[in-house]
Structure 1
Amino acid sequence: MKTQRGVKANYFFILAAIGLITAWIFNGIAVMKSQDYLAAWFGTEVDLVLSFDIFVVAFAVMPFMIWEGRRLGMKNIWAYIVVAMFTAMAFTFPLFLAMRELKLAKLEAAKA
């Protein structure tokens, strides 16, 4: 796992863990405080900028994950998108990138 691909995979696994933990913590706090998600996402112009920024990135990331996953022969790519709806894209996209690196390493090893 000391290969360049392994280092990249570990980096993305760390980001995925951070994304999951922060989503759990801050969503938990928001739920305990009965905060209004729609008001928070669309309350001010600054909120709108951040919200639409996230939407555009998500709509770029989801097809990329599907197309790249299919190209590489990765299984259950749909699961990353479904899980993102219940956790956070900040978790599932780095997780996908980590798994992609592992798949690329496997494909490269098979060629060698």
Structure 2
Amino acid sequence: MTKNWTPLAVIYLVLALIGFAGTWYYNIRTVLDGRDFLGEILSAGPAVGSFSVDLLVVAIAAGAFMVIEGRRIGMRLPWVYLILAAVVALAFALPLFLSQRERRLDRSALRSSYT
């Protein structure tokens, strides 16, 4: 196992820990308060807080990945996906980014096979 921790690896690890602590704080609070976890998802309460933290941490990690990976492989304007995530939805922007990433990787593979 490597001891090499790149700054990006550390950022993702910190986000993972925040995601774990934030969501489980609300999960445990929901159980200790004797609340209906699934019922509160549709209304309000600690269960909603858990999902909010969960989605926020995923959105931050996805945004960092989209910009850094986009730059790494030479995609044009990778930050546009962050705007799309904020204006439309992350559920739209991330799969769109991943599809364009695959196209870029495939294009790069085709170019390298001709040289």
Residue 50 of structure 1: aligned partner: 51
**Aligned counterparts of 2:80 and 2:44: Cα–Cα separation in 1:** 31
Secondary structure at the aligned position of 1:105 is classed as helix
Identity among equivalent pairs (%): 38
Give the CA deviation at 1:43. 3.2
Instruction: Could you tell me which runs of 5 or more consecutive residues in structure 1 were left unpaired when the two chains were aligned.
Output: 1-39
AA in 1 matched with 2:104: K
**Aligned counterparts of 2:66 and 2:59: Cα–Cα separation in 1:** 10
Residue 4 of structure 2: aligned partner: none
Residue 14 of structure 2: aligned partner: none
Which is higher, the Rg of structure 1 or of structure 2?
A: 2
AA in 2 matched with 1:69: G
**Aligned counterparts of 2:76 and 2:98: Cα–Cα separation in 1:** 14
Instruction: Show CA shifts across 1:49-80 (max 9, x none).
Output: 11110001011111111110000000111111
Residue 33 of structure 1: aligned partner: none
Q: Post-superposition, which runs of at least 4 consecutive aligned residues in structure 1 deviate over 6 A?
A: none
Instruction: Show CA shifts across 1:14-45 (max 9, x none).
Output: xxxxxxxxxxxxxxxxxxxxxxxxxx8x9311
Q: Greater relative contact order (Cα 8 A, min sep 6): structure 1 or 2?
A: 1
Residue 92 of structure 1: aligned partner: 93
Confirm whether residue 69 of structure 1 aligns to residue 70 of structure 2.
Answer: yes
Secondary structure at the aligned position of 1:59 is classed as helix
TM-score of the aligned structures, taking structure 2 as reference length: 0.60
**Aligned counterparts of 1:108 and 1:78: Cα–Cα separation in 2:** 24
Q: What is the 5 A alignment of 1:28-39?
A: none
Instruction: Could you tell me which runs of 5 or more consecutive residues in structure 2 were left unpaired when the two chains were aligned.
Output: 1-40
Residue 81 of structure 1: aligned partner: 82
**Aligned counterparts of 2:108 and 2:77: Cα–Cα separation in 1:** 18
Residue 29 of structure 2: aligned partner: none
Matched residue pairs, number? 73
